[in-house]
């Protein structure tokens, strides 16, 4: 018996459940399957090797992002990984009839930027991709989650997956955002307070007045880091802003189909009184800009705080992890995080590479110069984002300041394309993972918002963006 009052997640689940398999599992229909250059070529090859058909090429889209070079005159052979993967990816997409947004196409970009932007991923759809940050797209009010390679092959062959139904959590952010504080700070703060496994086993709905006031891009940032909170699914109820955003996408439904869609989309909200397994409420009105000090997104503090002691009241495994993190990051407990010299700044990734992210960084950068000895990258999330940013003159702001203005891709978020931070050097990054070696072996990553990253580029050290007049 389905409850009369359902959460948004339960509505999405029910709409896609082909069969209740019992034991908390459902056979779930897949509306959209997105492939990228790391997962795509191998999964399509696996399909062919197993003699399986691609069930629905028209519901499958492909875009290279993980391994692609980001320099202005990039080619397949700009780095060994893309030289290996791109020809294979292109060929397998052609063989199976999958639409590919290739290098040179303005629609190419990071898969989690491209899906929503082109109207491929829509409110009320189920979206899978062989990438953990697929939860980003839950910001549209979609059932979107990351899957491994076995599941990719299964989804390609059958358009369905056996999924364990997660518990439900609602996180309410309330209060007006202080100056210099944005979506990235909200989600990092949540992870810092409740742990990198605080959301494990849950589908997390982000709600509250603060979330409703966020631009689409900020909502995607929140959902993007749901997986860093441990949650496979993040989601936000769609509203007029969401509808306006998706309707402009070339693949979004038009005409009568759009009218039908709009009616369905307006029902995509948790019912009043719907029961969540867990709720968390956070008042954001006194929140400071956040920055990570360690090697897990939960190792995060306000920019005015000091690096914490690893031992205080913690179990052995936590202490071990925190001591190792301090050692790797070359930090002492009790030291202020502010003032720490940095050599790299990365503004980009599926967390923070959309137009309003770039605009927030540009406000800090305008009329200023990147500090000597700092290499600063801006990597727009897609060709379309890049085009819009250039139309607004943001590229000039960054270039005049001494930033590199690059081509779209995952770039320095995971350093698969050769964009990396050398061992022992420090980077303020708008990406989502400060794991050991993530930005290159020995690289030291401090996660922060685009505004904080921009400020660090100007000062050459970690600094409080609130001290910048026009931030």
Partner 1 sequence: MERLERVRGIAASLPVENVDTDTITPMHRILEGGDALVRYAFEPLRFHEDGSRNPDFPLDQPRYEGAKILIAGANFGCGSSRETAVWAVAGMGFRVLIAPSFGDIFFQNAFKNGMLPIVLPQGTVEHLARLADGAAFEVDLATQTIQAPDGRTTPFEVNAFRKQGLLRGADDLELVLDRAEAIRTFQARDRAARPWAWREPGS
Nearest to 89 by CA among 62, 69, 114, 71: 62
What is the total count of residues that contact partner 1 (CB under 8 A)?
A: 80
> Nearest distance from residue 162's CB to partner 1, in Å?
4
Does position 415 interact with partner 1 (CB under 8 A)? The reply is yes
Footprint on residues 372-401 left by partner 1 (CB under 8 A): none
Footprint on residues 168-197 left by partner 1 (CB under 8 A): 195-197
β-pair type (126-129, 167-174): unpaired
Segment contacting partner 1 by CB under 8 A, of 15-23, 205-213, 372-380, 385-393 = 15-23
Q: Build a one-symbol-per-residue string for 450-469: x at contacts with partner 1 by CB under 8 A, - elsewhere.
A: --------------------
The CA-based dihedral angle spanning residues 129, 132, 137, 142, taken in that order and rounded to the nearest 10 degrees? 70
List residues bridging with 445 in a β-sheet. Answer: 427
Q: Under 8 Å CB-to-CB from 151, ≥6 apart: which residues?
A: 128, 130, 161
What's the first-to-final CA gap in the chain, in angstroms? 52
Q: Build a one-symbol-per-residue string for 74-93: x at contacts with partner 1 by CB under 8 A, - elsewhere.
A: -------x--xx--------
Segment contacting partner 1 by CB under 8 A, of 105-113, 210-218, 257-265, 281-289 = 257-265
Footprint on residues 195-214 left by partner 1 (CB under 8 A): 195-197, 200-201
Does position 277 interact with partner 1 (CB under 8 A)? The reply is no
Q: 3-class SS at 86?
A: helix
Distances (CA, A) of 183 to 73, 190, 283, 295, 416: 33, 11, 13, 21, 26
Does position 230 interact with partner 1 (CB under 8 A)? The reply is yes
List residues bridging with 7 in a β-sheet. Answer: none
Tally Cβ neighbours within 10 Å of residue 436: 18
Q: Which of 64, 116, 130, 215 binds partner 1 (CB under 8 A)?
A: 130
Phi then psi dihedrals of residue 134, to 5 deg: -60, -25
Percentages (nearest 5) of helix, strand, coil residues in the chain: 35, 20, 45
Structure tokens, 65: 């992002």
DSSP characters over 138-160 = GGGS-EEEE--HHHHHHHHHHSE
Does position 18 interact with partner 1 (CB under 8 A)? The reply is yes
Q: Build a one-symbol-per-residue string for 301-320: x at contacts with partner 1 by CB under 8 A, - elsewhere.
A: --------------xxxx-x
Nearest-Å Rg of the Cα atoms of the chain is 21
> Nearest distance from residue 314's CB to partner 1, in Å?
9
Q: Which of 48, 260, 266, 369 binds partner 1 (CB under 8 A)?
A: 260
> Nearest distance from residue 393's CB to partner 1, in Å?
35
Nearest to 135 by CA among 58, 236, 39, 59: 236
Q: Which of 98, 114, 370, 436 binds partner 1 (CB under 8 A)?
A: 436
Q: Which of 62, 139, 261, 337 binds partner 1 (CB under 8 A)?
A: 261
Q: Which of 47, 122, 340, 361 binds partner 1 (CB under 8 A)?
A: 122
Footprint on residues 135-164 left by partner 1 (CB under 8 A): 146-151, 153-154, 157-162, 164
Footprint on residues 319-338 left by partner 1 (CB under 8 A): 320-321, 324, 328
Specify the residue, 134 or 430, whose C-beta has the smaller distance to partner 1.
134
Specify the residue, 198 or 380, whose C-beta has the smaller distance to partner 1.
198
> Nearest distance from residue 461's CB to partner 1, in Å?
24
């Amino acid at each position: 018996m389905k409850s009369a009052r359902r959460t948004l997640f339960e509505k999405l689940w029910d709409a896609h459940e082909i069969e209740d398999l019992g034991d908390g599992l459902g056979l779930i229909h897949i509306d959209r399957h997105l492939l990228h250059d790391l997962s795509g070529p191998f999964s399509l090859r696996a399909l062919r090797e197993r003699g399986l058909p691609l069930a629905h090429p028209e519901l499958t889209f492909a875009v290279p992002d993980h391994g692609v070079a980001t320099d202005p005159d990039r080619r397949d052979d700009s780095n060994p990984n893309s030289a290996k993967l791109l020809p294979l990816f292109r060929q397998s997409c052609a063989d199976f009839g999958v639409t590919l947004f290739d290098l040179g196409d303005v629609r190419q970009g990071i898969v989690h930027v491209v899906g929503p932007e082109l109207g491929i991923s829509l409110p009320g759809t189920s979206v899978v991709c062989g990438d953990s940050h697929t939860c980003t797209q839950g910001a549209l009010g979609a059932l979107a989650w990351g899957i491994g390679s076995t599941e990719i092959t299964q989804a390609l062959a059958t358009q369905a997956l056996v999924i364990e139904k997660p518990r439900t959590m609602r996180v309410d952010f309330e209060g007006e955002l202080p100056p210099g504080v944005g979506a990235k700070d909200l989600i990092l703060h949540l992870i810092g307070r409740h742990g990198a496994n605080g959301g494990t086993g849950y589908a997390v709905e982000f709600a509250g007045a603060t979330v409703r006031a966020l631009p689409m891009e900020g909502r995607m940032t929140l959902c993007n880091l749901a997986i860093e909170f441990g949650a496979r699914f993040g989601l936000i109820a769609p509203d007029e802003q969401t509808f306006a955003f998706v309707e402009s996408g070339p693949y979004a439904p038009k005409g009568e189909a759009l009218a039908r869609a709009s009616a369905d989309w307006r029902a995509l909200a948790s019912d009043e009184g719907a029961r969540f397994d867990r709720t968390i409420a956070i008042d954001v009105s006194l929140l400071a800009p956040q920055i990570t000090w360690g090697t897990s997104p939960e190792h995060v503090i306000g920019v005015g705080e000091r690096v914490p002691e690893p031992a205080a009241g913690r179990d052995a495994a936590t202490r071990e992890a925190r001591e190792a993190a301090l050692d790797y990051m070359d930090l002492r407990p009790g030291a202020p995080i502010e003032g720490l010299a940095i050599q790299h700044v990365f503004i980009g990734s599926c967390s923070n590479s959309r137009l309003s992210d770039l605009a927030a960084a540009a406000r800090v950068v305008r009329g200023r110069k990147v500090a000597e000895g700092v290499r600063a990258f801006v990597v727009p999330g897609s060709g379309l984002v890049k085009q819009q940013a250039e139309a607004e003159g943001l590229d000039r702001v960054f270039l005049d300041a001494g930033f590199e203005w690059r081509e779209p891709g995952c770039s320095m978020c995971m350093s698969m394309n050769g964009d990396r931070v050398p061992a022992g050097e420090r980077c303020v990054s708008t990406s989502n993972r400060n794991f050991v070696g993530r930005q290159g072996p020995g690289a030291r990553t401090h996660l922060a918002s685009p505004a904080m990253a921009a400020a660090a580029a100007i000062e050459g050290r970690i600094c409080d963006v609130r001290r910048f007049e026009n931030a």
